[in-house]
């Protein structure tokens, strides 16, 4: 049987997994709002960021209480400090969902993303949603194979970001400056959200293997 | 006389102040490289990011060692955990300096910023450099008045970001899509770097007052 202390540690981990789910959902809905020019959905994502922030504060407090009361050492200490990092990464990813939703709201009722780029933006948003969900699975399972998958998924995101850049900078681009700015900002938000998911996966891997990954994201 | 433990705590704080100086310097040089289309300077900023990352890893290790060996409680515990957050904020701000330098490098030998926008971009970059330097002063002095100043400085950054947006989206804008994307990305990098400095100031304020600032940045 697990003692109360290890139950608290498990609880902290479970909270991180739940938060990851909230953030992945926010990214998915923000993407939907963006490509559908759906104002209600955009508003929902923006107002639900408060739930993510509340959960962030709650997890911080849980971690802090464990540090203060239990004075953990070695592996447990490392796990708790890592939780503090992970929760910050997740909160930032959630912010990027809000930023995408804000772009959708700013251009409503016009769509922020021109039809010709919508498939690429949709692919990018959905991929980021899956990457973040996968980061949750890594936290839950501590599966190194899954953590490695996230690195490869992130390369796809970077390639999509470059593809959008290429289209917008091509002489044939006639969609105007406003659309170009909106698309590049959203693309950049997705790229950053995915980077934070990679960071989460690396932090969990470091906990398991003790090897720090220093490659640039 | 301070004991060895408190000397370690002081050392941790001094390292944070030094790191803040490195990051502020990187932002200043990146801005210079951007407005002058100076490839050498851009390269220098990009390659020196490794120094910032090394210092980040070193400070993390210092904080972790203090947690593991000293099992601090209450105020000291909070200060060490806060250091872990602050160092992550600073490392991200340093990344944004690199991103600005990369824009300068990508467009070289052309300037990435059109002459008509150079003064605003320069103002923004220099202001961010000062905000980050001020965050270092807040860490060193724990001066709440200075921390409050950073919040107001950040409002100026946001206003400059909006001003650039306004120019680029105006019908009179004839600088093309490429320049618009470069400028808006750099503006966004500055805005984020400043947000991280605000976050540092808030974390220090929270340490002193115990009151968490929840306003959005």
pLDDT tens digits, B42-75: 999 999 999 999 999 999 999 989 998 888 878 8
| Whole-number Å distance between alpha carbons of A47 and B32 | 39
Residues of chain B with C-beta less than 8 angstroms from the C-beta of A57: 212
Pick A84's closest partner by Cβ from B73, B84, B185: B84
| pLDDT tens digits, A153-211 | 999 999 999 999 999 988 888 888 999 999 999 999 999 999 999 999 999 999 999 87
- All domains of chain A, ordered by start, with CATH? 4-209 (1.20.58.220)
Residue B172 has pLDDT above 90, yes or no: no
| Whole-number Å distance between alpha carbons of B138 and B86 | 12
Task: Please tell me the distance in Å from B144's CA to the nearest CA on chain A.
Answer: 22
Question: Is B168 close to A177, i.e. CB distance below 8 A?
Answer: yes
| pLDDT tens digits, B197-210 | 999 999 999 999 98
Q: Predicted confidence band at A5 (pLDDT cuts at 50, 70, 90)?
A: confident
Task: Please tell me the distance in Å from A99's CA to the nearest CA on chain B.
Answer: 12
Mean pLDDT value of segment B131-157: 96
Percent helix, percent strand, percent coil in chain A, to nearest 5: 85, 0, 15
Residue B213 has pLDDT above 80, yes or no: no
Residue B215 has pLDDT above 70, yes or no: no
Pick from A85, A177, A213 the residue to mutate for testing the B interface (most B CBs within 10 Å). Answer: A177
Mean pLDDT value of segment B9-15: 94
DSSP result, A6-68? HHHHHHHHHHHHHHHHHHHHHHHHHHHHHHHT-HHHHHHHHHHHHHHHHHHHHHHHHHHHHHH
Pair B30, B106: CB distance under 8 Å: no
Q: Which residue of B has its CA nearest to A214?
A: B53
Pick B77's closest partner by Cβ from A67, A73, A176: A67
Q: What integer pLDDT is reported at residue B5 of this predicted model?
A: 84
Question: Is B177 close to A178, i.e. CB distance below 8 A?
Answer: no
Task: Please tell me the distance in Å from A196's CA to the nearest CA on chain B.
Answer: 11
Question: Is B185 close to A188, i.e. CB distance below 8 A?
Answer: yes
Q: What integer pLDDT is reported at residue B153 of this predicted model?
A: 96
**What's the whole-model pTM score?**
0.86
Pair A21, A90: CB distance under 8 Å: no
Pick A185's closest partner by Cβ from B53, B188, B212: B188
Pick from B181, B190, B198 the residue to mutate for testing the A interface (most A CBs within 10 Å). Answer: B181
Q: Which residue of B has its CA nearest to A174?
A: B177
Cα separations in angstroms, B90 against A201, B35, B44, B86, B151: 21, 23, 19, 6, 17
Residue B136 has pLDDT above 80, yes or no: yes
Q: Predicted confidence band at A217 (pLDDT cuts at 50, 70, 90)?
A: low
Task: Please tell me the distance in Å from A79's CA to the nearest CA on chain B.
Answer: 12
Q: What integer pLDDT is reported at residue B201 of this predicted model?
A: 97
């Amino acid at each position: 049987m697990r003692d109360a202390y290890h139950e608290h540690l498990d609880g902290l981990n479970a909270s991180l997994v739940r938060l990851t789910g909230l953030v992945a959902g926010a990214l998915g809905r923000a993407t939907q709002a963006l490509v559908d020019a759906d104002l209600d959905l955009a508003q929902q994502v923006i107002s639900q960021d408060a739930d993510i922030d509340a959960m962030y504060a709650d997890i911080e407090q849980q971690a802090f209480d464990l540090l203060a009361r239990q004075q953990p050492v070695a592996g447990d200490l490392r796990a708790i400090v890592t939780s503090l990092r992970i929760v910050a990464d997740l909160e930032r990813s959630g912010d990027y969902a809000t930023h995408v939703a804000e772009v959708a709201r700013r251009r409503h009722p016009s769509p922020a993303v021109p039809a010709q780029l919508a498939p690429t933006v949709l692919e990018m948003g959905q991929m980021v949603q899956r990457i973040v969900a996968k980061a949750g699975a890594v936290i839950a399972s501590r599966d190194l194979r899954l953590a490695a998958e996230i690195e490869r998924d992130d390369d796809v995101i970077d390639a999509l970001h470059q593809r959008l850049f290429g289209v917008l900078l091509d002489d044939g681009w006639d969609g105007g400056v406003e659309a170009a700015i909106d698309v590049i900002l959203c693309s950049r938000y997705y790229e950053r959200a995915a980077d934070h998911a990679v960071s989460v996966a690396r932090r969990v891997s470091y906990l398991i293997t003790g090897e720090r990954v220093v490659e640039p994201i």
